[in-house]
Structure 1
């Protein structure tokens, strides 16, 4: 997607979603429920009941009461369009920013983030902000039944998990949401308010009826009403409407007591039967609309008296809710709307008349800039051409702000023949499908583009960028490289952003072919195009490729400095979470791991893994998960390491990328060997060696396989089994090939394995000579883990080298030896104490760094945060562990087995 598009309008804040839909004043006071919530320490208050139990009224009243009591409270009403991670995160930030200084207001225009990870980026920013927020607040989210997206539900789960004492989320929903309620219930962090609690008791029913009728009911009448309605607020409201203006109160209540029909239908029919025909017709036809205004109703119904009808409906208290205090927008209570819809279907209105009304509404909404609500009406009326036209006006903007789910749903609703007449919608749909990792769907949409559209210069440029991204993310790298090569001749006439992207692609190709000079030339060309237009994110790819070359060449210290400087500059520039930032973070974590700065590497991965998972290339995903699993294994967390590798394997299977699944198996194979489970390793070996996995990339040395590929896996197994005769010549050939491409890091790994193979073959002089040569070449670049991760027979050779004069410094030998010793499996420690369970991963990192004696300033540098953030985390650690000083923190961490 070209850079100029990033400044296009994004999500515009609809302020009516950020306050209760109507004033709770004058309603029956629900003091029982307020007391329950006010005295609860739960982080999540779940208010669930079917329609008609007054959830919204209760939440609105709680909101007002809490604000009156001086508590920081904010509000969010969700609707069907918010079932999208990008849009939901936007509005969640908008709500929380009103009560938390740590949460920034969302931008009303395009965020400047690269679209591929906008939703994940905002999610990570929000979670980071909440992690730092200590001030108490209450967030109300109403109509949560509209949320079904697993990605949105996961975000809400993580937000709840991040809440501190005094921070609450109150959810109103018609059904129980798919959140980890069991865990919250057991830990005492959940308060549940159901339909039984929401029912009016007899006194509340009395107050409700007394506030709406000119004359009070006697005790017997009140008993009849309470018994028949069972305190159901919706039924009481209908009863009040039915009783208004009647002189035969007793007759209605007698009929109510005798009727066996559904109480809401009984009362609603009575109310409807007493209305003037014009108002009755207005109610029935407007039940087709989720929300409406007088002007919209006039246009859709072809009338001029909508304002008067709405006013009469309000006066009669007929379940009409004003939903925008800044304008005349209304909606019916869902229960009443459902009843009206049933009556409309039985009234004899034709499907053609319904479709006409829906189309009129869709056109009016689209003409007045309300594209979101217009689309469902056009689809419901069966006018896919109109729906596609409306969608095309907003789809690209939605992609740029991360609303991929919405765009994907839109496009899925339109027949292929109509999509082909809307190239911008096809392009937007292909981007959304790519970002959602639905690669087959993205390819299908691209193929629907007619030749005439593909010849358009702007669309042709978009297609080149899109096809490269699609191929790269679906691991069809050879195809991506071919597209880049074929576009080379047209670079001069392409937009700078697309041309820069192509140069980056060609640089990546050169890296996989071992042509580093060529790669640096392509990177320089990309920078010349991207820097003048401020294409920060594409530039991050260029810089990350430079650092990757250094790491491949064995210059771990230089790579670390390169990546660290770049990441700090990105964060300082306000672009903490983007796809390209996550790529830099993945490389930096790898470099930190290589030089054995384990804690700093783990911190980065914990912070960035969700963005890496959602938006990075397969190579970076493999590297990130591999490093994290190895760190977990070193800490004795074998079950956690296997879960991490299972996640990686599942990711490869779901996205149909065999190389990702194979990389997981390679590391599971290694872990099995380290644990002494040779049989399990042998069962995995054929899957790793499957030639079909590696064939698509034949001739290219892909980044993630630079250190860990089938030959390395075979060598490990041979060393454990003691049968090394066949592996020695294979390792020697691989060393020659890697050396010819200046892949010194791979050479070091292979030489380490070869030295151990010589040792197993009882050729110790060759073993020592090979290992010494490898260590001497690796020491200047600071490489450690390339040796330490292969400890099969390494320590005995290292001890021998330490005892004699060699070309490697004693200090470096000791560092490698110590790291290799820690790599060997150790018995897992017992279950941590409750205090440890309450610590977040980042707090555990800080404790380990504290034990090493680092100052706050050093902690901030290693964790890539400010000193204020470090102090906030320290205060939380002290509070959770019941301590007051650094010394006590270290002592308690030792006691809990955290360090």
Structure 2
């Protein structure tokens, strides 16, 4: 029996419950037996809607002694972080996951495939007894990033365990390769079609008896499609003549829709048919929501009655409160609503759903209903209010999707969304795009109130400009002052604005003012729960102390920064690099060389995430890494990191004291002896970015596609990695990287055999 555990991340428990099978559903015992005896780590059940995929998997769960971790996927899972969370929560119900694994799924961090998947995969690989992970409705997940997560997890499946997926279409996964490797068991349409005997049992369970000839004709006409047979049964039960059961039915979408309307909906009581059609705009339903959207009463009783009399309605909880329509029937009902009602009616229904969700604290659902309703202003306000929470929740794909709904003209009317778009692009290395989005925000003349209480977009824009320092330190100080003058006290942007202005003061040589701003950032960041801001401020205070020779204070600050990174699970944040590198400097000063090397390795892992988007932080980290490697007599690593920092400074040459520090350090680097690339830490940032992908299922062309580089570049970087790590293969390079700390030992799968081509 599945243990009852809390479901973190606000996910609905119903997503993770194996569906109950209704009396009369066909068992498909032979197929269930085949799945039970399969030794393949992946089983796919691929067929169009209505073929009983979910029922088959639920029957398998009933018959198999192994525990089943079940996920009912939906459109909200089409975000790599949300997808992986859903997988983790399904596993968590069977085998409670460690806090470290759950923390890794919180907040923004490195790429999900290489920073989060290994942690969940490692937990899967070490399960004490075999299990089956079911991913139902995989067709709801289309993004490459989500499918990469699934493919990567397959490498962690231990012997005796399986992943099973149900989808309406073949997913964009290397199924051919896995088939050839014997890693795949496939169930398709031919396996799921009902025989004449199975059809007779289904019809009988629905209360319909046909003679052998009529039954055979219906099976032939529907080609054994279970949903078609069930629709025909409901039609016959509703009073259609027996001849209509087969004669009116054909398998393509248009005929199914026509049959659904003419032979089923037309025979239902008008009130029931109207309720079905109009409530079909809802992803999930309860009585109160339906009452509000349909402007009626006693919807809860209607839902309860529908659930008891047909398979249209699926309960989502044990209390009989929340329901959804069976996916196929929901689509048919929505098609009929759009065919029979003016578009304005559909928009009105979605608008009422949005209003109900806002009133009941369901803001994310309100966004999607508002988008369907064409309520652009309301959606913009909602996305503005949800922007920072989504970022801190690590769901940047979802935020970017929502912002992508708005065209350039609309973004100038809703400049908060343009600022969010610029931040997202800046933090993910798309600097030209970030500049364009920032320009849209700067052109805005909107007076729409902002979610943090700001009177205009001006302080948001100023804060972003200050962080980017594209016009040098002097202008950044003007922008930083403006941002803090005009951001209201309750604005969640204030902690970050204090850190940015503190950095500007530090680069200008105003140490006292920098200390004041960083100290204020710690205080306000703690009040707002902005842990990522607090550890940066602590690390910057440690760096100031280190430069004036106050090593005791530097050590205290550095330890506080690193402790916060570890306690909050934010080790994959790019900005945590400054905490690790300052901790390394302190450790080396105190003679703790191994601790220093370990901290340096953690900082190096994050180098690929640092670039000219936040130039001052990137150069700071580069300078401190260079100093640490010089102290360790690692000239190759020092030279590599220093040269990368010089390239950033060439793009942002007006960084004041950092320019002076680079000039002073250049002589020390040039004076060191030893060949470049003499140690693993001499990997370039680009090579470190590629390194974790060597431990995945991806071929080099696929890795190149994920990193937006050419295939030749990917292979060249891999060969350089092999040379610097003293390795001759992908698996050997991964093992060596784990040994030196560039990859975390506890989260990568057992050594696999990889070739240079794949």
Q: Answer yes or no: same fold by TM over 0.5.
A: yes
Report the equivalent of 1:283: 276
- SS of the aligned residue for 1:140 comes to strand
Contact 2:222 2:249 in 1 (8 A): no
Report 1:406-555 matches (<5 A).
406-413=398-405, 435=427, 439-440=434-435, 442-444=437-439, 446-447=441-442, 459=454, 464=459, 467-469=462-464, 472=467, 478=473, 481-483=476-478, 486-487=481-482, 501=496, 504-505=499-500, 508-509=503-504, 518-519=510-511, 522-523=514-515, 526-527=518-519, 530=522, 534=526, 536-545=531-540
Report the equivalent of 1:130: 121
Distance 2:721 2:232 in 1: 75
Distance 2:385 2:497 in 1: 28
Report the equivalent of 1:322: 315
TM-aligned CA distance change 1:369 to 1:548, over 3 Å: closer
Between the two proteins, the alignment pairs up a number of residues equal to 685
Report 1:205-354 matches (<5 A).
205-213=199-207, 215=209, 217-244=210-237, 248-249=241-242, 251-252=243-244, 255=247, 264-265=256-257, 267-268=259-260, 269-304=262-297, 306-307=299-300, 309-311=302-304, 313-317=306-310, 319-347=312-340, 349-354=341-346
Superimposed CA distance per residue, residues 44-100 of structure 1 (whole angstroms, 9 cap, x where no aligned partner): 33322221222222233333444xx2x232222222233234444443433332123
Of 170, 179, 201, the residue aligned with 1:176 is 170
TM-aligned CA distance change 1:106 to 1:253, over 3 Å: same
Report the equivalent of 1:731: none
- Which region of structure 1 is more displaced relative to structure 2, 377-386 or 531-540? 531-540
Report the equivalent of 1:191: 185
Contact 1:530 1:538 in 2 (8 A): yes
Distance 1:105 1:827 in 2: 31
1:366 and 2:358 matched = yes
Report the equivalent of 1:762: none
Report 1:607-686 matches (<5 A).
608=606, 620=618, 663=644
Report the equivalent of 1:814: none
Distance 1:16 1:501 in 2: 38
Aligned-residue Cα RMSD (Å) equals: 5.6
Contact 1:564 1:588 in 2 (8 A): yes
- After TM superposition, give the deviation of residue 451 of structure 1 in Å: 8.0
- SS of the aligned residue for 2:96 comes to coil
Distance 2:176 2:305 in 1: 47
Contact 1:358 1:378 in 2 (8 A): yes
Distance 1:578 1:30 in 2: 48
- After TM superposition, give the deviation of residue 482 of structure 1 in Å: 3.1
Report the equivalent of 1:772: none
Of 397, 416, 424, the residue aligned with 2:389 is 397
Contact 1:313 1:320 in 2 (8 A): yes
TM-aligned CA distance change 1:212 to 1:582, over 3 Å: farther
- SS of the aligned residue for 2:314 comes to strand
Report the equivalent of 1:39: 37
- SS of the aligned residue for 2:296 comes to coil
- SS of the aligned residue for 2:316 comes to strand
- SS of the aligned residue for 1:98 comes to helix
Distance 1:179 1:346 in 2: 36
Report the equivalent of 1:16: 14
- After TM superposition, give the deviation of residue 401 of structure 1 in Å: 1.8
Report the equivalent of 1:78: 73
Structure 1 stretches of 5 or more lacking a match? 1-9, 632-640, 649-659, 667-687, 708-736, 757-782, 791-822, 850-861, 882-892
- After TM superposition, give the deviation of residue 235 of structure 1 in Å: 1.0
Distance 1:341 1:591 in 2: 63
TM-aligned CA distance change 1:105 to 1:462, over 3 Å: farther
Report the equivalent of 2:349: 357
Superimposed CA distance per residue, residues 568-598 of structure 1 (whole angstroms, 9 cap, x where no aligned partner): 6632565444343244346779999998999
Contact 1:17 1:78 in 2 (8 A): yes
Report 1:815-830 matches (<5 A).
none
Superimposed CA distance per residue, residues 651-709 of structure 1 (whole angstroms, 9 cap, x where no aligned partner): xxxxxxxxx9x959x9xxxxxxxxxxxxxxxxxxxxx8xxx993642564758x977xx
Contact 1:388 1:418 in 2 (8 A): no
TM-aligned CA distance change 1:132 to 1:491, over 3 Å: same
- Which region of structure 1 is more displaced relative to structure 2, 593-602 or 266-275? 593-602
TM norm structure 2: 0.71
1:157 and 2:113 matched = no
TM-aligned CA distance change 1:181 to 1:475, over 3 Å: farther
Of 650, 653, 656, the residue aligned with 1:697 is 653
Distance 2:266 2:294 in 1: 22
Report the equivalent of 2:47: 49
- SS of the aligned residue for 1:697 comes to coil
Distance 2:267 2:421 in 1: 50
TM-aligned CA distance change 1:188 to 1:23, over 3 Å: same
Distance 1:559 1:183 in 2: 53
Superimposed CA distance per residue, residues 383-422 of structure 1 (whole angstroms, 9 cap, x where no aligned partner): 3234345545544433332333333443444578887887
Contact 1:612 1:620 in 2 (8 A): yes
TM norm structure 1: 0.61
Who wins on radius of gyration, i.e. which is larger?
1
Of 89, 94, 100, the residue aligned with 1:94 is 89
- After TM superposition, give the deviation of residue 431 of structure 1 in Å: 5.2
- After TM superposition, give the deviation of residue 443 of structure 1 in Å: 1.7
Superimposed CA distance per residue, residues 744-772 of structure 1 (whole angstroms, 9 cap, x where no aligned partner): xx22222358x99xxxxxxxxxxxxxxxx
